[in-house]
Amino acid sequence: MRMSGLFVQTLREFPSDAEVISHKLLVRAGYIRKLANGIYNYLPLMQRVLKKIEDIVREEMDAAGAQELLMPFVQPAELWQESGRWEVYGKELMRLKDRHGRDMCLGPTHEEVITSIAREGIRSYKQLPINLYQIQSKFRDEIRPRFGLLRGREFIMKDAYSFDVDEEGLDKSYKIMADAYKRIFERCGLEAKMVQSDSGAIGGSVSHEFMVLVNESDENNAGENDVFYCSKCGYSANSNHAVSLLNNAVTDGGYNKADIIDTPAVHSIEELSEFLKIPASVICKSLIYVIDGKYVLALIRGDRTVEETKLMNAFSGNEIRIARNDEIDEIMQASGFNAAIGFIGPKGLKNIEIIADETVKDLKNFVIGCNQTDKHLVGANWGIDVELPSLITDIRLVEEKDKCVDCGSELKVTKGIEVGNIFKLGTKYSKAMNATFTDKDGQEKPFIMGCYGIGISRTAAAAVERHHDEHGIIWPLSIAPYRVIVVPVSDQDEVQMKTAEEIYKKLLAHKIEVIIDDRSERAGVKLKDADLIGIPYRITVGKTIKEGLVEFKNRATGETTNITPDEAIEKILAL
């Protein structure tokens, strides 16, 4: 490719709306252009990167025995009504009507469509197992599209779906995908950690995410997920799923009788613990949430935080948020109280489900809200002063230095970008949509399914997050848009131009993806652009050509050597 003809505009400045480095660099280096919020044009250099990732994904998926197909991007509502997701999938599902007034949606994922395909196409156990996948644009009307390609509204995904006769088969299919994923990300030049993750409200299901870990000390790091891990035994999990052993905090408040006392204008746990001169761990915190439109009171020890996904899953919910002030007032009034926020407690509340985290079980002589403004109940005990809720489970966020449930060592936390996930679906969709096959014994059984996603466009952005420096992108060789850039320093110098052309043509003849920067630009501009765009190897033809030497530069290491043009070509061919 000749730089003079390449469709790319590099910018001097970073775009003003970009927060994270991959977004900044991909725009500035001319890879993407925003069309609308969360919707991007993939320009020619980007398209080459995406194709490389897709090719790696295809090769590994095919090698794992999966078959590629392509499903429609626009889907009829009927399928979503069958699965029950038309009602529960939130506003991320972009719904529209066709000219006949029929409800349709833009595909955010394809479980419904693939299940309908299997329902029609797979009759017998003899056709199983099978794994079908596609690579396609998805649309999700994300509430906060941000970080460029990392969280777009339209994005490219590889989605695969496995069908098995039984759980054992699913375990095998799942393992095959897990192994394929490891190879895929490795080949993309990314270290991706496989971590346990939330699998939603489908009880007993298993899922894992593949996380590209990012540097936390970087203030603008793009890791949207907290990953807790144990460096001793290897346990690792997304914070929405992570568990830990209960730590040994002080759990006895030391009061010798229950009493309602004044705690004026004390609104937070910190203020309360300071005011009463007690540790936060002897306070029982009461928080009101709204889960799928229903009120829930969550009790947790004052020194710990509620993990909202865990709480939501305890009620098999789809949506969770903390209650608004006016909603809390409404609950108070309905229960005959008018306590301000900060003084709420479980006793006497009506029309609300109450759940407790395991941390509150062992509390003794503790402090808790009693639904009277500026007052708290101190020295409370379960069963005497306040009822212990019957629903007690783990709804707490793990914290660093908590102990690993598997080996007891201290857990650590880091930030990660989820580039892929694998999920045991079981019969969630096949049962709902009546998708069955005839088993060996002649019985009709629902398919046992798994689903497996990879964010293709997000993977490209994650690669930039991991591989860049102050000068620009440093593509891993396997997914770079071009492998080599040949830069004649001066287009006025005949020898330089002739040598550069020769190197370029020889590399082309060897089918090496190469750019020659044949523009009549200043050397500084050309070299800066080469670094910004992130081509892994640069061959610069400058003054030293008089001695028969060119400069060979490795973008990743910054290492340069002066060698002959032929040596440079050999070096490239050897890579």
CB of 95 to ligand ATP, least distance (A): 17
CB contact at 8 A, 559 and 506: no
Q: Is 212 helix (H, G, I), strand (E, B) or coil?
A: strand
Residues 6+ apart with CB under 8 A from 530: 485, 487, 517, 538
Q: Of 424, 411, 422, 298, which Cα lies nearest the Cα of 359?
A: 298
- Report if residue 56 touches ligand ATP, rule: CB under 6 A: no
CB of 363 to ligand ATP, least distance (A): 34
- Report if residue 555 touches ligand ATP, rule: CB under 6 A: no
- Report if residue 134 touches ligand ATP, rule: CB under 6 A: no
Q: How far is CA 373 from the centre of its chain?
A: 42
Q: Of 242, 246, 358, which Cα lies nearest the Cα of 299?
A: 358
| Token pair recorded at residue 266 | 């004390």
Query: Strand runs (DSSP E) across 183-234, as ranges?
Result: 192-196, 207-214, 225-229
Q: Among residues 140, 285, 304, 376, which is the contact residue for ligand ATP, using CB under 6 A?
A: 140
How many CA atoms lie less than 13 Å away from 190 in the CB half-sphere?
33
Q: Of 369, 565, 397, 389, which Cα lies nearest the Cα of 486?
A: 565
| CA distances in angstroms from 102 to 73, 75, 95, 105, 251, listed in the order given | 16, 11, 10, 10, 59
- Options 49-57, 260-268, 452-460, 500-508: segment touching ligand ATP (CB under 6 A): 452-460
- Options 151-159, 384-392, 429-437, 469-477: segment touching ligand ATP (CB under 6 A): 151-159
Q: Among residues 54, 142, 394, 501, which is the contact residue for ligand ATP, using CB under 6 A?
A: 142
| Binding characters for ligand ATP, 80-119, by CB under 6 A (x = yes) | -----------------------------x----------
Task: Give the count of beta carbons closer than 10 Å to the beta carbon of residue 556.
Answer: 16
Query: Strand runs (DSSP E) across 248-401, as ranges?
Result: 259-262, 283-291, 294-301, 320-322, 353-357, 366-369, 375-380, 391-393
- Report if residue 226 touches ligand ATP, rule: CB under 6 A: no
Q: Among residues 317, 342, 369, 453, which is the contact residue for ligand ATP, using CB under 6 A?
A: 453
**Nearer Cβ to ligand ATP, position 207 or 365?**
207
**Nearer Cβ to ligand ATP, position 236 or 421?**
421
Q: Is 490 left (phi over 0), alpha (psi -120 to 50) or beta?
A: beta
- Report if residue 450 touches ligand ATP, rule: CB under 6 A: no
- Report if residue 420 touches ligand ATP, rule: CB under 6 A: yes
CB of 267 to ligand ATP, least distance (A): 33
- Report if residue 208 touches ligand ATP, rule: CB under 6 A: no
- Report if residue 146 touches ligand ATP, rule: CB under 6 A: no
CB of 146 to ligand ATP, least distance (A): 9
**Nearer Cβ to ligand ATP, position 119 or 151?**
151
User: Cis omega before residue 565 (within 30°)?
Assistant: no
CB contact at 8 A, 61 and 67: no
- Report if residue 418 touches ligand ATP, rule: CB under 6 A: yes
- Options 79-87, 212-220, 397-405, 455-463: segment touching ligand ATP (CB under 6 A): 455-463
- Options 150-158, 373-381, 382-390, 534-542: segment touching ligand ATP (CB under 6 A): 150-158
**Nearer Cβ to ligand ATP, position 151 or 301?**
151
| Token pair recorded at residue 304 | 């710990």
- Report if residue 185 touches ligand ATP, rule: CB under 6 A: no
**Nearer Cβ to ligand ATP, position 426 or 455?**
455
**Nearer Cβ to ligand ATP, position 420 or 426?**
420
Q: Is 477 helix (H, G, I), strand (E, B) or coil?
A: helix
Q: Among residues 155, 255, 475, 552, which is the contact residue for ligand ATP, using CB under 6 A?
A: 155
Residue ranges binding ligand ATP (CB under 6 A): 109, 140, 142, 151-152, 155, 157, 418-421, 453, 455, 457-458
